[in-house]
Structures are given as C-alpha cells and as structure tokens.
C-alpha cells in the first residue's frame, strides 16, 4: 500500500512588530512595547517573525530617539527560539537612496551579527542589479536570502515576467522567493497562477506577503496555499487587516485539519492579542485604519497610503477638489516612467510628480530632484520603456547611466567614519550616520554625552568611596 502523502505544513510569518505597526500606526511602536509581547510570541512556533528593517530603522531614531541596533539586540535576546526576519530595500538598505557596496556589506554584517536570520531583499524596480550586492553579502554572512518581487499590475507585468524574474533571482542565490504585494493588488486567482508558476520555474519555497487594504489578501493566501505557497505573512488579530496583513488566527483556523494545517495552537494567541490591543491604544494619534477596506486601491491600482497622502497634501494646498485629477495623473506619470511598481521609494517619486503636474496646471513644468535622478537612470532600469520626450524635457542633455547605479558610488564607509569620529568609533553608529546624517548627528552627540556622564558618575562614586573629592558629579 502506498504511504499516505505527508501533510504539507504551511508556515506563518508574523509581521506585527515591523509591517503591522508600520502600516497601521506610522511605525511608532517603541522597543519597550515590542518587548512586552516578544517573549510570548517566541512561544507560538512561527516560521519567522519580521521585526526589523523597512521604515522601523529610520523612525526608531527619528521619532523615538532609540537606537535601532539596540532594539534588534533586545528582540534577539527576548526571542531566542524564533527566526528573526528583516526587510531590506536592496542597495537602498533601510534608507531612500543607493549606498556604496562597502556600506551594504557592513550593514548586512552587523544586521546578521546582531541576530537577523532571514533577510528579505527587494528593489522598487525589480532591477536585479540592485539586489546583487545585498544578496551576496547576506549569503556570505550565512543568512537565509529571501528575494522579494514587488508585485504590481501594468501592461509590462505578467505572470511570466514575475516567474522569469524569480528564476533569475534563484540563479543569483536566493534561498526562497517572496511575492511582495505591498498594495494588496494581488487577486486570488492571479495569486494561484503566480505561485504555481514561480514554484514550477524555480523549485524554491514561495512566501506570500500581502496587505489587506483591498480586502483581498486572505482569499489570495488561500489560493496561493492551494498552489503550494510555503509560508504566508500574517499579523496578530489586534494589529491585522486594513492596510496591515491578514490575521494569523483566521488563516490558522481556515487551514486546520486540512493538508495545509499550520500545526499552531490558537489558544496561545488570545493573551498576546489582548496585550497588543492595550498597547495599540497608546498610538491612537497615529492610527490610520480608516477606511477598513479601501476600494480605491482596486480602482486606481495604487497603495492606500499614496491616496491618503494625496488627500492630506491637497488639503494643505487648498486644492482637495483636484483629487480626481491627481488620481488620473498617476497612471500617466507611471507610464512615462516605464511602469515602476509603486513601493518605497518609487511610490513617493511618482506621487510627488503627479501632484506637481496637476497643481501647476502643466505636465513636467517642474520636476522633483528624485524624478530627475530617476530619468537619469540613478534608481536603475525601469521595467518598461521610458517616454524619451518627457525624459529630455525633464533632464535636458544630462547623461543617462545604463550601468548598475551603485557602480558610480565610491566607497564611503571609511570617509563617514572619519567625519563622525569625534562622536563615535562604533561601526553601527557610523551606519546610522551614513544613512540618516541629519538625525544621526544630534542622536549620536546626545548618546555620547549620556555615555560620558555615566562614566563620570562611576568615577565620582569610586572617588567618594575612597574619601576623595568628587571630580565629576552627575550633570
Ligand atoms: Co508590506
């Protein structure tokens, strides 16, 4: 008698502590609040938890005055059993422009050294050359390299296009493929085809990452799971849905006693969800979960965050009546630019230009610096052809680069280390400074003063004990 087929176990990756609060609460969770739930989450049995990278690195320092490296070390210590995952924007790391290769190497070395197991790497244009250095570095450091493909809809982007991209990423050394559906545009039946085709073409495990924005994500997961998806990204129910991920408990319950059973125990979720519900209340001012389902995402095929940004910017410009015009302008700008997927930083680049075109009443009368850089090829190769007439209108006779953009960026780590040398000799601090110089300077200055005071205090205490004069007291 033939052996019974072994049930395929689907894994759940929890994103609450990265994408969950990034999508719902402007990335404001403090390290203390994260640590409150981290050890209970460590007991669940998740395939991985995404806890770092994306916007968390920047906001940690910018708004919370916290050291993102320190956060990572604390999470690692609190979650010894679970694989920690981070989101990395390819050559942009966790910033908004390309960095030199030596900076990419150092950043990844430190991320893995401080506890990251899985590095999910993507590029806004799906330009393979922007993945390559980060993938090599992650491989070298022994991390699991997950290459993520930014999912979008355009005349260029077909199932075949994505599968071809996935196959090339496998050849570059990817250990798994993630379908990154940042806007919640992936429809259930497309998900099924996409997952099946990528698995057939690559033979690699496929992980699905969707946002609930359009109300589609859990249906897409189910179809993707039937087609063989190995892991799906979910969030704790009190931090799920709307622009966040589907709720883990719903997916776990839906798959129970099927060949796709996750094997996870639903009972352990209740206290964690309850705690997160309380924590979430603190961040009410940043809560942007209205509307729960954004039908405009499906109408306009752009991320919900982009539409709400337009509304607030148009309000500021006293031109809210122009919203429809802006929403209609986005696809035109996107076409001019060769159909980039709309994800950081291209969503901001396309959005800002569409807004300018409408507000100035003339297309490309003015262009942002980022749009100029984009047209010069500095972000990489767009998926489709660029409108040459518009390109010349925007950048004149400027040279267009066709090489890997980072090939034009000189090594910069040693120089930055020198620049910030008065305040730190720690390589992790230097990375903060390279990526966010304006906020890192005062942050490191303050950190140095605090550390110096601690040393002074210790000297003071010791001298007191010896009955000598206190040379330095607390300040
Ligand atoms: Co996401």
Q: From the CA of 181, how far away is ligand 1's center (Å)?
A: 7
Strands 206-210 and 11-14: unpaired
pLDDT in tens, 79-95: 999 999 999 999 999 99
Q: How far is the CA of 15 from the centre of ligand 1 (A)?
A: 9
Cβ atoms of residues 20 and 235 within 8 Å: yes
Identify the weakest region by mean pLDDT among 117-121, 155-159, 182-186, 312-316.
312-316
- How many A from CA of 221 to the centre of ligand 1? 14
Q: How far is the CA of 98 from the centre of ligand 1 (A)?
A: 20
Q: What is the pLDDT of residue 80?
A: 98
Give the rounded percent of residues in the chain with a pLDDT score beyond 70: 93
Expressed in angstroms and rounded, the spacing between residue 464 Cα and the centre of ligand 1 is 54
* % pLDDT > 90, the chain: 84
Ligand 1 centroid to Cα of residue 244, in Å, is 7
Taking a 5 Å cut-off on Cβ, the residues next to ion ligand 1 are 19, 182
**Digit-coded pLDDT (tens) for 283-306:** 999 987 777 888 888 888 888 778
Ligand 1 geometric centre to CA of 161 (Å): 21
CA of 246 to the centre of ligand 1 (A): 11
Nearest-angstrom CA–CA distance, 346 and 338: 12
pLDDT at site 452:
67
**Confidence tier at 140 by pLDDT (50, 70, 90):** very high
Q: What pLDDT score was predicted for residue 467?
A: 37
- Can you give the pLDDT at residue 460? 37
Q: Are the CB atoms for 138 and 145 separated by under 8 Å?
A: yes
Mean pLDDT of the chain: 92
How would you class 220 by CB atoms within 10 Å of its CB: exposed for 0-12, middle for 13-18, buried for 19 or more? buried
What separation in Å is there between the alpha carbon of 304 and the centre of ligand 1? 12
**Measured distance CA(231)–CA(179) in Å, rounded:** 11
Instruction: Provide the pLDDT for residue 454.
Output: 55
- When comparing pLDDT for 471 and 178, which is higher? 178
Ligand 1 centre to CA of 421 (Å) is 36
What distance in angstroms lies between residue 392's CA and the mean position of ligand 1's atoms? 34
Name the band, by pLDDT with cuts 50, 70 and 90, for residue 282.
very high
- Render pLDDT for 25-64 as a digit per residue (tens, 0 to 9): 999 999 999 999 999 999 999 999 999 999 999 999 999 9
Over range 272-291, report the average pLDDT. Answer: 91
Residue pLDDT, tens place only, 205-225 = 999 999 999 999 999 999 999
Cα separation, 36 vs 274, whole angstroms:
12
Distance 52 CA to ligand 1 centre (A): 12
Ligand 1 centroid – CA 27 distance (Å)? 12
pLDDT at residue 429 is higher than 80? yes
17 Cα to the center of ligand 1, angstroms: 12
Q: ∠ CA 208-298-121 to the nearest 5 degrees?
A: 30
Given this model, what pLDDT does residue 473 score? 28
Please tell me the least confidently modeled range out of 103-112, 262-271, 292-301, 352-361.
292-301
Cα of 19 to ligand 1 centre, how many Å? 6
- Read off the pLDDT band of 448 (50, 70, 90): confident
Buried b (16+ CB within 10 A) or exposed e, 314-333: beeeeeeebbebbbebbbbb
Closest CA to 79 of 36, 128, 122: 36
What pLDDT shows up at residue 96? Answer: 87
Tell me the two tokens of residue 284.
Answer: 């009410």
Provide the pLDDT for residue 82. 98
Q: In this predicted structure, what is the pLDDT of residue 376?
A: 97
Q: Once rounded to an integer, what is the mean pLDDT over residues 332-353?
A: 95
d(CA 92, CA 90) in angstroms, rounded, equals 5
């Amino acid at each position: 008698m033939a052996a019974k087929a072994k049930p395929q176990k689907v894994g759940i990756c929890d994103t609450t502590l990265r994408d969950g609060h990034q999508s719902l609460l402007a990335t404001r969770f403090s390290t203390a609040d994260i640590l409150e739930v981290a050890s209970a989450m460590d007991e669940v049995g998740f395939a991985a938890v995404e806890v770092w990278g994306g916007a968390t690195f920047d906001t940690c320092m910018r708004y919370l005055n916290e050291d993102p490296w320190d956060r990572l070390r604390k999470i690692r210590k609190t979650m010894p059993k679970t694989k920690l995952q981070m989101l990395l924007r390819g050559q942009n790391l966790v910033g908004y422009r390309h960095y030199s290769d030596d900076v990419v190497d150092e950043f990844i070395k430190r991320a893995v050294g401080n506890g990251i197991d899985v590095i999910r790497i993507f590029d806004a244009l799906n330009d393979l050359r922007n993945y390559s250095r980060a993938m090599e570095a992650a491989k070298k450091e022994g991390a699991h390299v997950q290459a993520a493909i930014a999912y979008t809809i355009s005349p260029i982007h077909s199932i075949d296009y994505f599968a071809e991209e996935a196959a090339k990423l496998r050849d570059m050394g990817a250990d798994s493929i993630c379908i990154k559906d940042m806007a919640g545009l992936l429809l259930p039946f497309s998900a099924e085809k996409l997952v099946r085709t990528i698995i057939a073409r690559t033979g690699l495990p496929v992980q699905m990452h969707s946002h609930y924005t359009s109300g589609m994500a859990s249906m897409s997961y189910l179809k993707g799971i039937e087609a063989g998806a190995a892991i799906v990204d979910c969030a704790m129910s009190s931090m799920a849905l709307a622009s966040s991920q589907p709720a883990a408990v719903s997916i776990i319950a839906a798959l129970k006693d099927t060949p796709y059973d996750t094997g996870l125990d639903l009972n352990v979720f209740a206290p964690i969800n309850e705690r997160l519900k309380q924590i979430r209340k603190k961040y009410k001012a940043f809560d942007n979960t209205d509307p729960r389902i954004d039908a405009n995402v499906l109408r306009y095929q752009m991320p919900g965050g982009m539409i709400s940004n337009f509304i607030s910017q148009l309000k500021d410009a006293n031109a809210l009546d122009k919203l429809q015009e802006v929403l209609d302008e986005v696809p035109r700008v996107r076409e001019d630019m060769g159909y980039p997927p709309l994800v950081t930083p291209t969503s901001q680049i396309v959005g800002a230009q569409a807004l300018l075109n409408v507000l100035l009443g003339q297309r490309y009368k003015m262009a942002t610096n980022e749009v100029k850089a984009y047209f010069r090829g500095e972000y990489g190769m767009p998926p489709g052809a660029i409108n040459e007439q518009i390109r010349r209108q925007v950048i004149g006779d400027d040279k267009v680069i066709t090489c890997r953009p980072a090939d034009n960026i000189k090594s910069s780590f040693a120089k930055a280390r020198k620049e910030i040398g008065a305040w730190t000799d720690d390589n992790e601090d230097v990375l903060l400074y390279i990526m966010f110089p304006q906020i890192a300077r005062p942050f490191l200055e303050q950190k140095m003063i605090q550390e110096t005071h601690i040393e002074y205090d210790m000297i003071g205490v010791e001298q007191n004990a010896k009955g000598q004069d206190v040379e330095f007291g607390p300040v």
